[in-house]
Structure 1
Amino acid sequence: MSAPLEPRDERPEGSAGPAAAPSASLADGEWHRLHPATPLLRGGIAFVAVVGFLLANLRERIVELVLGSPDGPTDPLDAAYQNGQLGWAGLIVAAALVAGVVLFFFSWRVHTFRVGDDVVEVRSGILFRTHRRAPLDRIQGVAIARPLFARLFGAAKLDVSVAGQDAKVQLAYLRSADADRLRVDVLALASGARAAESRRGAGPTETASSGGPGATALPPSPSSVEAAPLAPEPSVAPRGVLETRMREFMAPELDPSTAPPESVVRIPPGRLAGSLLLSGRTLVGLALVAVIVWLVTTDRLGFAVFVVLPMLLASVGYVYNRFTRSLRYSIAGTPDGVRIGYGLLSTSNDTLPPGRIHAIEVHQPLLWRLAGWWAIRIDRAGAAGEGSAQASTTMLPVGTAGDATRVLSLLLPGLAAEETRRILDAGLDDPRAGGFVTAPPRARWVRPLAWRTTGFAETTDAVVLRTGFLWRRLVVVPLARVQSVRIEQGPWRRMLGLVGLDVQTVAGPVHAQLPAAERAVGEAAFARWSAAAVAAAAADRTHRWRAHPSTGSASGPGRDGDGGASPSGAGERMEP
């Protein structure tokens, strides 16, 4: 039986003396190392596979180069045995293995991280050193990913997303329980809970730390319950490795104790499969199958195999990945923001603190209309340049109108008011039902099909835009996250007495644009939204969401340091 997983004891390099007791938290301001299996998980297996491929395909050249027997056996072992060089061959293989192990060891040893009071830092590299810093006041989200192979080692990858292009700090890999605890600590530091605790008269205390004076202790966090499923209980005997791995595999991505059950939205597998079958990618795949059949029957097998078949395999792979990734999907509200979990074999969950959502889009493809399904995606700072931008911006892959309304209330708690919910329900159903200012009839010359459903509404802390006829879209932009408001009028719109409005936020999949509105109505809305955005940004306190107890809105902060430029107070007019 092995001992339960505990945080590593790390001392500064060069320190002497006996090791102190392990720190209760990795967020103690000291430098720590990653999981010992990190080199293997990050590239060791790929390295072995590449070496094996080269040996299998170049073994004749290797035999000729090393053993000097081009006319002998092509098998390296047979050639070494016949030439009496088996010992030298074994020595070369052993030296290569030792060199690989030494290289991986030093790469692991120099890859360290530190979590201080206001920054997360990572140092890595042997020949070329890198040092990445993530200021806590710019954090946009904290995600934990557990790939299938890493789960076998009890490891997890923690990503700290900050505002900026390619500014994510990644800790790959940590022990799974350590990753859960570190996320709690990072969110507690970023939320301003320590400053709030100090103001209440509970000054910072010192705790023992290896290799130096103790760091200030974190205040109790309401979200500390999130790490409970993986943390060892004092009253339970130490579990074996196999039992620990089984508990980690079976544990839900979202702990039900972190949020009320009614705040969680889950997707049945049947609905998920149906949404993928009715997606455009599936239709493209069916069309490619028809093309392959036609090419085969017309004796054009080469074109079908080398051109059309790879396209079909790519479509099938995309649908399969979407299905497996969205299984066990769930979303819930926690004390430190919205938590989204998904994945079957390789799992992931992401925590979005309050004030990190710039825009929300609820959209409905044409084929989903009969089933009444909707999907939700968002704009968030720092996600535009990520390889997994689509996954990190998708909040609801598919759901009913009720699910969409519930997720909107989680993302922006200010939308939970009864009057606001009526506006959202009207936007999802028919904006002419009430609460929306729709485009005039002459807008049909600009939007022939969608002029009746084009309009906008206003709430106390957000702007709601509705567009689309075949592909319905409802966009919600928190006023505190508006970077600028633009009004434009080209020759055609000027002749019709119309204007277009554009509410600009960070780069992302959501585009908050209103293509047509009455000129007088649009100009009045332009002035109101510009002034309201400045006022909302000045009053926003969500960049330190637990430092101000009154902060309850998830609308974005109005600080540049949180990834969105604060409104300057001036909108932008564009006329030819």
Structure 2
Amino acid sequence: MSDPDGPLPAPARTLVRSPYSDGEWHRLHPLTPLLRGGLTLLVIIGLIVANLRERLVEFLFPAFTDLPPGAIPPDPVDFLFANNLLLIAGGAALVVLIVLLVLFRLSWRFHMLRIGDDDVEVRSGVLFRTHRRAPLDRVQGVNLTRPMIARLLGLAKLEVVGAGLDANVKLEYLSGKDAEAIRGDILRLASGRRLAAGTATAAERSSLARQAAAAVGSGLQGLVDGEDLSDAEPESIVRIPLGRLVASRVLSGSTLFLIALVVGIVVAASLSTLWLLFTVVPMFLAFGAYYLRSIARGLRYSIAPTSDGVRVTFGLFTTVSEIVPPGRVHAIEVRQPLMWRPFGWWTVSVNRLSGRSSTDTSTDQFAAVLPIGTRDDVERVLAILAPALTGGEWTGVFRDGILGPVDDDPYMTTPPRARWLRPFSWRRNGVLLTDEALLMRRGWVWRSLSILPLARLQSVGVQQGPLARAFGAATLTGHVIAGTVQTSVGALDRDEVVRVFERTARASVMAASTDRSHRWAG
């Protein structure tokens, strides 16, 4: 279907792998209404079944329902039978079902997407129309998600991550192959690479029934054979053994809270037990769900470099595949919880634009790019997340930053007069400015190292409270995209902080002026 204002210039065809990437308006997969609205029908049916469960048990298992009159409470079905309204109720239910199907169908017909040279657009809504546009030069990444039910139907959804609050454009749903192809096309266009004209033609669109049948067949076959991403993703550079994954969740901070909770229960059980049923049991169920969810999320973890950025895949039941293009990582943190230290395990997280609203709790799931790994794993992950770091800078990252401090420590640390402000961590508390990044080291119990690329640094600040002022200390803060990475270090020498502040300001301006990673193919 063409836009009444005329189609956009068609993107180049040589590198286009999807028929959707031709500058024209296209509808999404015909099974989309089933996933977006059809699940609502399943919920309604479930509520009906739950409310009529006695009637169903009586009908299916009459031998077990030979009860005296009045033992089974009356339900709406009794009223319909008694007043001969069964046909009327059935007709009304049929009318409601038809109306819902028509609404789902109309919603699908009015939900369209267009991929042009400069942006991705989505139109939706029947009565209240919505038109969303994501400029390709502001794309921060493209996430591909395969929920469990969608995988059974061979479908997936794409989320084009924008550069603003609630700026993402969602494409729900597409066939698995189309979703992969569209993601590749969007990233190629976002990289600054124009898709030059060629002889490739778009695949003919088959009937809706054939598209649906092909998607379901592909989904079922994918569950048997596994997902084939060999043409789009090289082998993962990190493998997380199941034993290590489970142990990392057991040896986490939440386990300490769980142990404290158990101790509290033992003490309180001698006084009262009634409140345990309403408070403690749900807590245990929540902890169990958390452990299972976190373990299932890491079972299919992989991370690998691609031509369009770093590709991170995770999730057993709902599979999420995210590509972070070059230049979209604003901060990196390597962190080691206390109970992981004997095993030499670390976790790596990043700050990046997510395009979601501040109330979206799913934002944090994209922060950890390495849930758990050894030093070798961390080295491989940092090499693809921060490829601009030179050989000399890696010494400041690993030997002096992650594992340090050493005798010839190059970091600026807490001066003797202010050590009481950091009584345990004053030796690890430090800052180091390199040619490409500002490194911030902190923590004695929970060790961490933050890497702030200078080209992504928005500003740098110096803060000094009354206590710090009395001891000539100050805090240095790097301002980047908000996230889980800590970007400040306190209790440093005030004069040294001012000098690092001035050097960092000049270096970040120079790095930003020469950076071209936002258009990585240009």
Q: Please, what TM-score do these two structures have when normalized by structure 1?
A: 0.77
Contact 2:153 2:216 in 1 (8 A): no
- What is the one-letter code of the residue matched to 1:160? V
SS of equivalent residue, structure 1 residue 521: helix
Among residues 380, 386, 389, which one is paired with 1:406 in the alignment? Answer: 380
Structure 1 residues 418 and 103 mapped into 2: Cα distance closer, same or farther (>3 Å)? Answer: same
1:480 and 1:505 mapped to 2: Cα distance?
A: 10
Contact 1:253 1:348 in 2 (8 A): no
Contact 2:144 2:321 in 1 (8 A): yes
1:87 and 1:471 mapped to 2: Cα distance?
A: 68
Alignment of 1:369-380 (within 5 A): 369-380=341-352
1:340 is aligned to 2:312: yes
Structure 1 residues 240 and 511 mapped into 2: Cα distance closer, same or farther (>3 Å)? Answer: closer
Following superposition, the deviation at residue 404 of structure 1 comes to 1.2
Following superposition, the deviation at residue 249 of structure 1 comes to 5.6
Deviations 1:315-356 (A, max 9, x none): 221221111011111111111000000111221110000110
2:18 and 2:342 mapped to 1: Cα distance?
A: 54
- In structure 1, what is the equivalent of residue 210 of structure 2? none
Which of 513-522 and 490-499 deviates more? 490-499
Structure 1 residues 354 and 131 mapped into 2: Cα distance closer, same or farther (>3 Å)? Answer: same
Deviations 1:215-244 (A, max 9, x none): xxxxxxxxxxxxxxxxxxxxxxx9995466
1:210 and 1:148 mapped to 2: Cα distance?
A: 28
2:114 and 2:232 mapped to 1: Cα distance?
A: 30
SS of equivalent residue, structure 1 residue 171: strand
Alignment of 1:105-120 (within 5 A): 105-120=105-120
Structure 1 residues 141 and 401 mapped into 2: Cα distance closer, same or farther (>3 Å)? Answer: same
Deviations 1:252-310 (A, max 9, x none): 58638743x5x611211111100000111122233334444544443322x11112222
2:265 and 2:445 mapped to 1: Cα distance?
A: 30
SS of equivalent residue, structure 1 residue 494: helix
- In structure 2, what is the equivalent of residue 486 of structure 1? 461
SS of equivalent residue, structure 1 residue 424: helix
Which of 242-251 and 183-192 deviates more? 242-251
SS of equivalent residue, structure 2 residue 272: coil
2:111 and 2:94 mapped to 1: Cα distance?
A: 26
- In structure 2, what is the equivalent of residue 396 of structure 1? 370
2:180 and 2:203 mapped to 1: Cα distance?
A: 22
2:86 and 2:519 mapped to 1: Cα distance?
A: 66
Tell me how many residue pairs correspond in the alignment.
Answer: 482
Following superposition, the deviation at residue 435 of structure 1 comes to 3.7
1:528 and 1:376 mapped to 2: Cα distance?
A: 27
Contact 1:253 1:349 in 2 (8 A): no
Contact 2:146 2:157 in 1 (8 A): yes
- In structure 1, what is the equivalent of residue 394 of structure 2? 421
- In structure 2, what is the equivalent of residue 437 of structure 1? 412
Among residues 32, 53, 61, which one is paired with 2:26 in the alignment? Answer: 32
2:355 and 2:257 mapped to 1: Cα distance?
A: 27
- In structure 1, what is the equivalent of residue 126 of structure 2? 126
Following superposition, the deviation at residue 402 of structure 1 comes to 1.7
Among residues 532, 538, 547, which one is paired with 2:507 in the alignment? Answer: 532
1:292 and 1:486 mapped to 2: Cα distance?
A: 46
Deviations 1:394-426 (A, max 9, x none): 1111111221121111111013x3322222212
- What is the one-letter code of the residue matched to 1:349? S
SS of equivalent residue, structure 1 residue 382: coil
- In structure 2, what is the equivalent of residue 139 of structure 1? 139
2:391 and 2:382 mapped to 1: Cα distance?
A: 13
Among residues 497, 500, 522, which one is paired with 2:472 in the alignment? Answer: 497
Contact 2:18 2:185 in 1 (8 A): no
Structure 1 residues 90 and 499 mapped into 2: Cα distance closer, same or farther (>3 Å)? Answer: closer
1:247 is aligned to 2:222: yes
Contact 1:253 1:342 in 2 (8 A): no
- In structure 2, what is the equivalent of residue 184 of structure 1? 184
Following superposition, the deviation at residue 59 of structure 1 comes to 11
Deviations 1:524-575 (A, max 9, x none): 211110001111111111121101xxxxxxxxxxxxxxxxxxxxxxxxxxxx
2:90 and 2:168 mapped to 1: Cα distance?
A: 43
SS of equivalent residue, structure 2 residue 166: coil
Structure 1 residues 163 and 471 mapped into 2: Cα distance closer, same or farther (>3 Å)? Answer: same
Contact 2:153 2:218 in 1 (8 A): no
For structure 1, the 5+ residue unaligned runs are 1-9, 16-21, 61-72, 198-202, 212-237, 548-576
Contact 1:337 1:352 in 2 (8 A): yes
Structure 1 residues 256 and 281 mapped into 2: Cα distance closer, same or farther (>3 Å)? Answer: farther
1:145 and 1:139 mapped to 2: Cα distance?
A: 17
SS of equivalent residue, structure 2 residue 342: coil
Deviations 1:38-73 (A, max 9, x none): 22212422343135425754999xxxxxxxxxxxx9
Deviations 1:85-123 (A, max 9, x none): 433232222112111111111111111111111111111
Which of 426-435 and 370-379 deviates more? 426-435
Contact 2:155 2:215 in 1 (8 A): no
SS of equivalent residue, structure 2 residue 425: coil
Alignment of 1:169-248 (within 5 A): 169-194=169-194, 204=197, 242=217, 245-247=220-222
1:42 is aligned to 2:36: yes
Contact 1:144 1:350 in 2 (8 A): yes
Contact 1:362 1:475 in 2 (8 A): yes
2:224 and 2:476 mapped to 1: Cα distance?
A: 49
Identity value in percent: 45
For structure 2, the 5+ residue unaligned runs are 7-15, 55-72, 205-212
Contact 1:405 1:424 in 2 (8 A): no
